[in-house]
Amino acid sequence: MTAALYLEDAYQRDAHGIVTAITEEGGIVLDGSIFYPTGGGQPGDSGWLTWDGKRLPIATTVKGQGDDIALVPAEPLQMPEVGTHVTQVLDWDRRHKHMRVHTMLHLLSVAVPFGVTGGQISARHGRLDFDMPDAPEDREGIEAVLNNFVEADLRVSTSWITQAELQAAPELVKTMAVKPPKGPEKVRLVRIGDGASWIDLQPCGGTHVARTGEVGGLVLGKIEKKGRQNRRIYVHLDG
């Protein structure tokens, strides 16, 4: 089992780790990972491992067996053996952009209040698919709402609830096609805003910025028809 350190602190750029396994595919499993594994529309993190004067680039990160997280080497170089103490270092610029885009998509789900049927994140833009028959008419209005959320610099925080509590509050689940992130007994929630002024609360296992102001300027992109009941809306980071 790999401890998901990125859930505790999305801003941790480096950390000590111990190699606990090498997968059949050549992935490196650590006892704790600051690298986010591909999932929920968010790409796996990249970066590198260092040990004993050696440096191994990591191309991406994926989920392994059970609760394992596997780091995928970018090159066929020497691998650390099981039991090796390593330092894991994120490609922070790429990760931080993923955090900004992921938070931006949560804001989009508030500005466009329809069920979400899918989504995708990159380092420059993101998109959500909405269960809506017609394209929104007021593009400028949606973009203005999103930028107002950013300018409000709302706090982004996390908490945990039990499976029973989630089942008693199904309205929290916006993603119709993706199961909420969960452990044996608990589900992670991401909240945007504080107190009575919060604007969004939903299950999510991704990484986010600490405040909406950190998203920066954004621009609404194209809107595509993806089936009779689906509209795909893109949002881009503006800088």
Last residue of one domain, picked from the residues 52, 75, 90: 90
State whether 79 and 180 are in the same domain: no
State whether 120 and 65 are in the same domain: no
Q: The whole model's pTM is what?
A: 0.92
Query: Which pLDDT belongs to residue 174?
Result: 66
> Rounded CA gap, 104 and 100, in Å?
6
Length of the chain, please?
Answer: 239
In which domain, by residue range, is 40 found? Answer: 3-90
Last residue of one domain, picked from the residues 26, 56, 90: 90
State whether 111 and 151 are in the same domain: yes
Last residue of one domain, picked from the residues 90, 125, 148: 90
Domain count, the chain: 2
State whether 162 and 58 are in the same domain: no
C-alpha distance from residue 149 to each of 28, 182, 200, 235 (Å): 39, 28, 11, 14
State whether 154 and 228 are in the same domain: yes
Query: Which pLDDT belongs to residue 209?
Result: 98
Query: Which pLDDT belongs to residue 181?
Result: 60
Q: Where are the beta strands (DSSP E) in the chain?
A: 3-4, 14-22, 28-30, 32-33, 47-51, 54-63, 69-73, 85-90, 116-121, 125-131, 156-162, 186-192, 200-203, 218-225, 230-237
Per-residue pLDDT of the chain (239 residues; tens, 9 = 90+): 999 999 999 999 999 999 999 999 999 999 999 999 999 999 999 999 999 999 999 999 999 999 999 999 999 899 999 999 999 999 999 999 999 999 999 999 999 999 999 999 999 999 999 999 888 889 999 999 999 999 999 999 999 888 888 777 777 776 645 555 655 578 899 999 997 789 999 889 999 999 999 999 999 999 999 888 899 999 999 97
Q: What's the CATH code of the domain at 156?
A: 3.30.980.10
Query: Which pLDDT belongs to residue 131?
Result: 93
